Structure 1
Amino acid sequence: MKVIKPVSIGRDQLISSSVAEDDYPAYVPTTDYPVGARVVYQAQVFECVQTPNVGNTPGAAPLYWALAGPTNRWAMYDSEVSTQTVGDSPLRVVVRPGLVNSLALLELVGTRVKVIGRDGLGGPILYETERALEGSIVTNWYEYFFEPFSPLSELVLTDLPAYGSLHLDVSILAPGAEVACGAMICGTSYFIGDAEYGGSVGIVDYSRKDTSETGVTTFRRRRFSRRMSTRLWLETARFAAVYRLLSGLRATPCVWIGTDAEAYGPLTIYGFYKDFSIDVAYEMMNFCNLEIEGLT
């Protein structure tokens, strides 16, 4: 199992994006906004909730402005997986994350992803890969002819060259269709231990089911978050290092990778650990128990 400790992607790190930031008009201090009007301010969308509203800066005047969420361009860099950046194919971004060795793309919609790493903007290519987002497993002739394709919704790369001047050019493609990305996380990956069989993975669904007095049931589809519980084999020589690593990641959203095998994509979770414990079991080997809670 590995964990990716992310770095922040802000305006200094985002070099370019094919997604325009034109969700709503930019905030103008001299305009008197009516209730319900939306504006863009510092990559966030705000909605007016009170009038008169002149000169009240969004973010600094909560009585006048309610945060509606990030703009479409910046949705893939916030702390939520379900807020996707959506655009026409190819959705292409160039970022300068600093010294990192890993990249995670979550809640993807597309058919292919292409990643190019350069030494500086326009410099020589240090890294290049192209991956198909296809995870169909055919077990019989009926599935071969009639079962729809099963696209992968996550891609994790932990073999990026560790260059301080690394520029990542990421393209999400699906010819003739829209593509999307829920989260793009760059960071440094750390190996924790080898996961053993017997772990569990699932979701917590925040949808609502309501049944009326006449027995009619309606559903309100809402977000969900992933969960994972696992036990790891941990060499005694790495006991102190892993303990310090996990202690330093408390209350920190990270990418937790249960295994590198593509067939176990649901074991990749962007979230935080609720609890961890290390059992000092043997002289040469310990056990690490982790409870991971994903973000919506």
Structure 2
Amino acid sequence: MSEMRVVPGIEITPAKMIINALPDMDHPAYDSLKAYVIGDSVTIDRINYQALVANTNRHPVTDTVAPAAWQNLGWINKYRMFNKNIGNTWKIGTFTSAPDVIDVTIRPGQRISAIGLVGVFASSVRIIMTVPGVTDPVYDKTFAMSLKAGGSWYQYYFGQFVTKDNLAEFDLPPFNNADIRVIVSAPGGTVRVGMMVIGWAKTIGTAVYGTSLGRKKYSTIKEDFDGGVTITKRGQRRSIDFQVVLSGDQISSTQRTLDAVDDIPSLYVGSSELEYTVIVGIFDDFDTGLPTYNRGEYALKVRSLM
């Protein structure tokens, strides 16, 4: 059993992103004088757009002529690990990627105690926290995301790698003026991060056995008259049904905490030691019974938005 926590993420704006070597634009800037053809792409204010029809002087943001000339493709690569929404639509299956390393420094401008990364493809993640006036980092830890299984020489040379997709840490010193540097490394390969959330962790009980994992895929399968099968690959979403216990005097505060993150993507963690209980999403259901002998139980279903 472990503390069940939720972390409402703070918004990462350009002002808070102190260092990030990834490009500010995935495509050229929009030009009102250019004749665009179907499939052309542009970047405006960290958002990518693709031309649906040939057009000139139809601005992707302000144009209201029907049918639409542009499709909103969502955030640029640099910000995909922090934002996935297109209006009210959350674009699943997207991530920030780069060759070898993603190295980003965030200045939250407020106290934080936790960080979580989900959908990670990397060999290691290093988290460094520094504050002005202090020579050495106040926090500096490296976490292996890919290890060889077993301990024998055979396993070392021929065994499969055991990988972790998610990481959650809750021991960051709560300075209000700290810079947080995150280095996600995959030397010789492509590193990917689905989501990164930083914020103040709140305990909402104790996760217990009975918690279950799920995944729903949205691919469609069509069977033809002659037995042929057409598969249209689409996205997929993870879900976790957390089973949680808490003392009777925690119920009201837990309800208030969950009310505050209703329909707000947040980091939920059943146990940081069990990385598969780390998820970024929204909760669908919160069912609790009356406490007995000052012990209450509830079920919390969280669906991934990554």
Fold-level match, TM-score > 0.5?
yes
Task: Using the aligned pairs only, state the percent identity.
Answer: 23
Counterpart-to-counterpart distance in 2, 1:265 and 1:81: 20
| CA contact 1:210–1:219 (8 Å) conserved in 2 | yes
In the alignment, what sits opposite 1:150? 162
1:128 matched to 2:137: no
| Alignment-mate amino acid for residue 60 of structure 1 | T
Using the alignment, how far apart are the partners of 1:219 and 1:61 within structure 2? 36
C-alpha distance in 1 between matches for 2:169 and 2:93: 21
* 3-state DSSP of counterpart to 2:242: strand
**RMSD value, Cα:** 2.4
State whether structure 2 residue 291 is matched by structure 1 residue 281. Answer: yes
1:17-166 map, 5 Å: 17-54=20-57, 56-61=58-63, 63-79=68-84, 80=91, 82-99=93-110, 100-120=112-132, 124-134=136-146, 137-138=149-150, 146-166=158-178
- The 2-side partners of 1:81 and 1:93 are apart by 22
1:268 aligns with 278
Q: How far off is 1:2 after superposition?
A: 0.7
Q: Tell me what 1:292 maps to.
A: 302
The equivalent residue for 1:178 is 190
C-alpha offsets along residues 3-51 of structure 1, whole Å, 9 cap, x if unaligned? 1111101111111212223421012334343332210001111112244
Structure 2 regions of 5+ residues with no counterpart?
85-90
8 Å Cα contact 1:121/1:167 also seen in 2: no
Distance 1:152 1:269, change over 3 A: same
Runs of 4 or more above 6 Å deviation? 139-145
**Could you list the per-position Cα deviations for residues 244-263 of structure 1 after superposition, in whole angstroms to 9, with x for gaps in the alignment?**
111121111111111121xx
Q: What one-letter code is carried by the residue in structure 2 that aligns with 1:76?
A: M
Counterpart-to-counterpart distance in 2, 1:211 and 1:142: 46
Where do 5+ consecutive residues of structure 1 fail to align? none
Cα drift, residue 215 of structure 1: 1.3
In the superposition, relative to structure 1, how do residues 209 and 279 fare at CA in structure 2: closer, same or farther (>3 Å)? same
Aligned residues between the structures: 293
Cα shift at 1:173: 1.0
Shift of 1:142: 8.5
1:249 to 253, 261, 266: 261
Counterpart residue type for residue 58 of structure 1? P
TM-score (norm 1): 0.90
Shift in Å at residue 145 of structure 1? 6.3
